[in-house]
């Protein structure tokens, strides 16, 4: 019993020390955090929270019809990119808000685009994703990140996560967690 208590004490001490090292790291609690460089709009480099107003990483992903969609194709428009999966309850909760934003706002504002970016590498497969979309009647554009490349470039660790990209291809806002139609309208109106 005494040995168990000593082992637990040492594990606690080591854990606290490791947490202390992580939190006192000059990189703000992360190691080797990638940073965007330059002022070019649309880049292949990852995005970090501190990089708001920097170039949004470009992607070329397949939509459900097999067509390739590139972020850079939407230069001149504001783009709302929502990262999600079918198994994520907060993602499921926000889908009606995204659909309402698409139905009630985007259709009347051709200078704004909504892209649902499914983290298909983290999901149950394309057949399941297609059925999910059909079952809940999602009509806004969906692209599939089948290799996880966009997830890495955008540093997605929490889903849902939404990015607002301006007309020049720069990140205006990164929103962690579910969004509402009203919040999206407010963000794209800036």
CATH for 141: 3.40.30.10
- The range of the structural domain enclosing residue 8 comes to 1-33
* pLDDT bucket at 30, cuts 50 / 70 / 90: very low
What is the distance between the alpha carbons of residues 126 and 144, in angstroms, rounded to a whole number?
A: 8
Query: Is residue 113 domain-shared with residue 127, that is, in the same domain?
Result: yes
Report the percent of the chain where pLDDT is more than 70. 73
- What pLDDT sits at residue 190? 87
Domains: count for the chain: 2
- Flag whether pLDDT at 37 surpasses 90: no
- Cβ–Cβ < 8 Å for 158, 90: no
Query: Is residue 54 domain-shared with residue 89, that is, in the same domain?
Result: yes
Instruction: State the pTM of this model.
Output: 0.74
What is the distance between the alpha carbons of residues 57 and 150, in angstroms, rounded to a whole number?
A: 8
- Cβ–Cβ < 8 Å for 170, 57: no
Q: Which 3-state string (H, E, C) describes the chain?
A: CHHHHHHHHHHHHHHHHHHHHHHCCCCCCCCCCCCCCCCCCCECCCCCHHHCCCECECCEEEECCCCEEEHHHHCCCEEEEEEECCCCHHHHHHHHHHHHHHHHCHHHCCCEEEEEEECHHHCCCHHHHHHHHHHHCCCCCEEECCCCHHHHHCCCCCCCEEEEECCCCEEEEEEECCCCHHHHHHHHHC
Query: Is residue 24 domain-shared with residue 47, that is, in the same domain?
Result: no
Query: Is residue 50 domain-shared with residue 67, that is, in the same domain?
Result: yes
Query: Is residue 21 domain-shared with residue 52, that is, in the same domain?
Result: no
Query: Is residue 129 domain-shared with residue 179, that is, in the same domain?
Result: yes
* pLDDT bucket at 53, cuts 50 / 70 / 90: confident
Query: Is residue 161 domain-shared with residue 178, that is, in the same domain?
Result: yes
Query: Is residue 71 domain-shared with residue 29, that is, in the same domain?
Result: no
Query: Is residue 79 domain-shared with residue 23, that is, in the same domain?
Result: no
Query: Is residue 151 domain-shared with residue 181, that is, in the same domain?
Result: yes
Across 49-58, 61-70, 79-88, least confident range: 49-58
- What pLDDT sits at residue 38? 38
Query: Is residue 163 domain-shared with residue 102, that is, in the same domain?
Result: yes
Report the percent of the chain where pLDDT is more than 90. 71
Query: Is residue 15 domain-shared with residue 91, that is, in the same domain?
Result: no
């Amino acid at each position: 019993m005494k040995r168990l208590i000593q082992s637990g004490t040492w594990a606690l001490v080591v854990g606290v020390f490791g947490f202390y090292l992580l939190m006192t790291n000059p990189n703000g609690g992360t190691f080797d955090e990638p940073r965007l460089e330059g002022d070019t709009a649309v880049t292949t480099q990852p995005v970090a929270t501190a990089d708001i107003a920097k170039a949004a990483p470009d992607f070329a992903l397949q939509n459900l019809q097999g067509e390739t969609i590139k972020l850079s194709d939407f230069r001149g428009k504001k783009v709302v990119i929502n990262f999600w999966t079918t198994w994520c309850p907060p993602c499921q909760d926000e889908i009606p808000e995204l659909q309402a934003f698409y139905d009630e706002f985007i259709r009347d504002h051709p200078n704004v685009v909504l892209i649902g970016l499914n983290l298909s590498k983290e999901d149950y497969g394309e057949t399941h994703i297609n059925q999910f979309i059909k079952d809940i009647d999602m009509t806004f554009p969906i692209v599939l990140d089948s290799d996880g490349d966009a997830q890495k470039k955008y540093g997605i660790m929490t889903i849902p996560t939404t990015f607002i990209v301006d007309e020049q291809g720069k990140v205006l806002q990164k929103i962690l967690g579910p969004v509402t139609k009203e919040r999206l309208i407010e963000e794209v109106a800036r």
